[in-house]
Amino acid sequence: MKGREAMLQKLLSTIPEEYEKIVVDDEDLLLAAKRNKGAKKATGEYLLFIDDDNYLASGVIEEMLSEFKKKIGVMGMTACYDDKKMKVADGGSKRNYLTGFTSGFYTNELIYEIPYSLIYQVDEVANAFMIPRHVFEEVGGFDEVNFPIDLDEADLCKRIKDMGYQIVMNPKAICYHKSQTYSPVPDFRRPFNAYTMGRNKVYYQRKHLSFIAYSVYLICFFWMTPFFYSVSLLYRGKLKILFYFLWGVIDGVFKPLMSKVPEAVFGNTKME
């Protein structure tokens, strides 16, 4: 992506030369489509997906490959903050499939507080993760229509988990992520991401819940996320962001699945 060349070069410098490196920088593609395109070009038995605002600690690829078992479908790297290298930014997430609520494992805790030898199960990973090629092909890759960006990893992990595989995190495989300190109070940098998050939180429930479970979700739990996000965004004074978020929520409820992101959102706000 434009303006991130230095971060990309730092990431590439931490990947050993013996591994194939594929960079997909098509500006007209969103994240899920970029990942699918890269996977098609790859020739290896395992696929490592990693965003360009990361770089790797030494030996992490070898560590992940050594721990893969047949029952593992996805293995995530433990991400620590770039500027707080002992603090965990992402240790995987647990999801309540009925309510749609998620909670992070070890978020903002010190890395040495994680049992170092423990490969632990999660519901979903993000940011940096490895998948055996045959599993990725069997599941059909990322759903780049319903989840072009935001919750694309969560959707993929759910489908792989439904196939009988485990989703795990490896605390010995560490990458460093250039990101803001995670806060449970929601915020968005761009209107586009506000729209897609509002939309995809509902889309996820529609796609993966039964009719009865989805009805319970709509009646009992649906309102909680828009209310909490709206209060937070109003407190921050981000009225434009709130507008796009609520637009996404409404589209998530009423638009049919497989509907593309509106061109008015994609075209005008993608790079804001």
Residues 9-54 pLDDT 10s: 999 999 999 999 999 988 888 999 999 999 999 999 999 999 999 9
List, for residues 127-186, the tens digit of each pLDDT value.
Answer: 999 999 999 999 999 999 999 999 999 999 999 999 999 999 999 999 999 876 666 667
Instruction: State the chain's mean pLDDT as an integer.
Output: 91
Q: What residues contact residue 171 under an 8 Å CB cut-off, 6+ apart? A: 78, 91, 111, 114, 115, 116, 118, 119, 120
pTM over 0.75: yes
- The full DSSP string for 210-267 is -HHHHHHIIIIITTHHHHHHHHHHHHTT-HHHHHHHHHHHHHHHHSPTTPPPPHHHHH
- The full DSSP string for 48-70 is EEE-TTEEEPTTHHHHHHHH--T
Rounded Cα gap, residues 188 and 153, in angstroms: 18
Rounded Cα gap, residues 153 and 162, in angstroms: 14
Rounded Cα gap, residues 151 and 136, in angstroms: 17
Residues in the chain: 272
Contact 67, 113 (CB under 8 A): no
Rounded Cα gap, residues 182 and 43, in angstroms: 35
Contact 98, 172 (CB under 8 A): no
Question: Residue 168 pairs with which residues in a beta bridge?
Answer: 75, 121
